[in-house]
Amino acid sequence: MVKKIVNFVAKHKWMFMLAFAVIAVVSVMLGVDFGGDCGAALAMSAAVVPNEGGGKTIVNAPLSADITREESVNLLERDVSKDIAKVRPNSTPLDAVTRRIKKQKSVSQISAYYSVGVMPKESKIKTQVSAGSANTPVTITVEDSTLFEANDTIMVPTVKVSGRGFLTLYVQKKTDDGNLVVIAINTENNAVPQIAAGAKVIRIGFAGSEKDAQAPAMQALPDDKENYCQVFESQCEETEFQRLTDKEVEWNMTDIEEQCVYEMKRKIEDSLMFGQKAKFRDPLKKEMVYTTEGMWWQAGTEYTYNKDEDFENKTLTELTQAVFAGNNGSKNRILFAGSDLIAKLQNLSYYERTIGASEEMTKFGVDFNVIVTKFGRLNVVHLETFDELDMSYCGFVLDPSNAVRKEFKPFTRRELDLKKAGVRNTDAVFFQEVCCVNLMNPKTHCRIALDE
C-alpha cells in the first residue's frame, strides 16, 4: 500500500508542487506566519548600515535600482537630453519690427524732429442761425473762424436741401471780429435756412471769380519735438573654472551670450513701448541719464472699448475706422495686441472669414495674421509686454511708414579683458546700443485701451 502511494506521488509530483505553490502564495497574501527563519526572512525589510571607511552596506535585501538612487544619488547615470529648451515668449516681435523700420543716424543723444500735419477742415456753429430772406447775406459765428476765409465754400451736412444735397454756403467776407458773412448757394433764391447751434460745418473748395488775381495766403509751419536716445546695456561673464569643467549638456559662452542678448531685447521692447521720457542726474555716478519716451505715449489716436460688452464685428469696424480714417497714413499697419484682445478678435465671425492659412504673412522676421478691412490691413501679432503689465485687453497700432528708429550708437559687442585689468578671472562680453523710436505722424499710430 505504501509502495503504491509513493509510486502515485512520483508519477504525479507536478500536481503536488503546483498545489503547494498556490497555498504558499495565498498564505503570504493573507499574512499567514509560517514560523521559523522563513517567516522572519519574508517579514524583514532592507537595512542600510553606514560603513566605517565610507559608503553603505545593504542588509537583508538585494541591491536594487530604487535603493541605489535613494542611498547613492549620483551613482546611476541619467538619460540626459543634449538639447536645452530655451523658453522665449514670442521672440520679441516689437524689437524685430523696430529694427527694420526706417533708420537714421543721430548725432546727439537728444533726438529732435519736426512734423507737420494738415489744416483742420471742421468746426461748429457757435450760436443758432435764424433763417434769412432771399438773396440776403447772413452773418454766422463758428467756433474756430481761423479755418475760413473769404471765397471759401462751407458744407453743413446736418441740413438737407430738398433735391440738392447738403446745404452749402459761400463766404462773402470775414469780419474783423471773426464772423462769417455768407449766402446759400443751393437753396431757392439763395436764402439761408435756420441752422442749429452745434451743427457741424466743413470747409470745402475755394470759389473764385473771373477777375480774382489773389487768394488768402496760406503756408504750413512744422513743429519740433524731441526724444531721448536711451543707453541700453547688458553684460555676461563666465569664470575660467566654469569653462574648463565638463558639463552634462553643451553650455558655453556662446549660449550665455545668446541668452543675455535675448533678455536685453525684451527689456528694450518695454522701454520702446512704455518708457517715460526723462533727463536726470544720477547722484551716485554724478552723471546725466536719459530715458526714452515710449511709442504708447507718442501716439496721436486712441480707441477705447468696454471689455465687458460684446466685441462684435461692429466693434472691429469702429476700431479700424479710428485707426485708418482721416490721418493720411499707410493702409498696411501692425497691431501689437495683448492675449485677451487677440481672443476677442479671434471670436469674431468676420475675423474667422478673413484669417486663414492664406492670410498669414511673414514680415520683419515676424509671423503675422492679417485682418483685411475696407479701411486697411492690420497685421496682428501677440506682444507679451501687454500681458505682463495686466493690459491683456489692450493693443497698439504702429504705422511703420511713419516711424523712425534713431541710433546714436548702433548695437555693439565688446569683449572685456577683466583678467588683465585685475578685476575678475572671467571671460566677459559687454553689449550696448543707444537708440529711440520717433513717431513722425502721431495720428497714424493708435492706442487701443479700455474705457475708464
Extract the C-alpha cell encoding 86: 530655451
Phi, psi (degrees; rounded to nearest 5) at 283:
-65, -25
Average pLDDT across the chain, whole number:
82
Query: Edge-to-edge strand order for the sheet containing 426-439?
Result: 102-105, 403-416, 426-439, 230-239
- Give start and end residues of each alpha helix (H) in 102-252: 240-244
**How many folded domains does the chain comprise?**
4
Kindly state whether residues 237 and 179 are assigned to the same domain.
no
Extract the C-alpha cell encoding 127: 450760436
Cα four-point dihedral sign 204, 205, 209, 212: positive
Residue 215 is assigned to a structural domain of this protein = no
Kindly state whether residues 312 and 167 are assigned to the same domain.
no
End-to-end CA distance of the chain: 106
pLDDT of residue 19: 57
- Of 449, 443, 419, 417, nearest in space to 430 by CA: 417
Kindly state whether residues 250 and 352 are assigned to the same domain.
yes
User: Cβ contacts of residue 196 below 8 Å, gap of 6+?
Assistant: 125, 128, 158
pLDDT of residue 18: 58
Q: What is the pLDDT of residues 186-214, one digit of tens each?
A: 998 889 999 999 999 999 888 888 787 77
Q: CA 251 → CA 84, 192, 256, distances in Å?
A: 9, 83, 8
Quickly state the pLDDT bin for 1 (edges 50, 70, 90): low
What percentage of the chain has pLDDT greater than the value 70?
A: 82
Residue 236 is assigned to a structural domain of this protein = yes
Residue 217 is assigned to a structural domain of this protein = no
Kindly state whether residues 198 and 338 are assigned to the same domain.
no
DSSP 231-270: EEEEEEEEEHHHHHS--SS---HHHHHHHHHHHHHHHHHH
Kindly state whether residues 71 and 142 are assigned to the same domain.
no
Kindly state whether residues 201 and 279 are assigned to the same domain.
no
Task: Say how many residues make up the chain.
Answer: 452
- The strand ranges marked E within 326-402 are 332-337, 360-363, 366-372, 377-382, 395-398
Kindly state whether residues 22 and 155 are assigned to the same domain.
no
Q: What is the pLDDT of residues 16-45, one digit of tens each?
A: 565 555 555 445 444 444 444 444 444 457
Residue 218 is assigned to a structural domain of this protein = no
More reliable by pLDDT, 51 or 424? 424
Average pLDDT over residues 326-345: 91
Quick count: other Cβ atoms within 10 Å of Cβ 427? 19
Residue 219 is assigned to a structural domain of this protein = no
More reliable by pLDDT, 39 or 273? 273
Quickly state the pLDDT bin for 299 (edges 50, 70, 90): very high
Kindly state whether residues 32 and 69 are assigned to the same domain.
no
Kindly state whether residues 261 and 400 are assigned to the same domain.
yes
DSSP 333-346: EEEEE-HHHHHHHH
Residue 71 is assigned to a structural domain of this protein = yes
Residue 399 has pLDDT above 80, yes or no: yes
Q: Which domain holds residue 397?
A: 87-114+224-452
Residue 141 is assigned to a structural domain of this protein = yes
Residue 81 is assigned to a structural domain of this protein = no
Residue 293 has pLDDT above 50, yes or no: yes
Quickly state the pLDDT bin for 401 (edges 50, 70, 90): very high
- Of 187, 106, 60, 5, nearest in space to 406 by CA: 106
Q: Which range (34-43, 243-252, 370-379) has the least confidence?
A: 34-43
Kindly state whether residues 293 and 436 are assigned to the same domain.
yes
Kindly state whether residues 229 and 352 are assigned to the same domain.
yes
**What is the H or E stretch that residue 280 is in?**
strand 278-282
Burial 196-209 (b: 16+ CB within 10 A, else e): eeebebbbeeeeee
Average pLDDT over residues 4-18: 55
Residue 447 belongs to a domain with what CATH number?
3.90.1690
Kindly state whether residues 60 and 167 are assigned to the same domain.
no
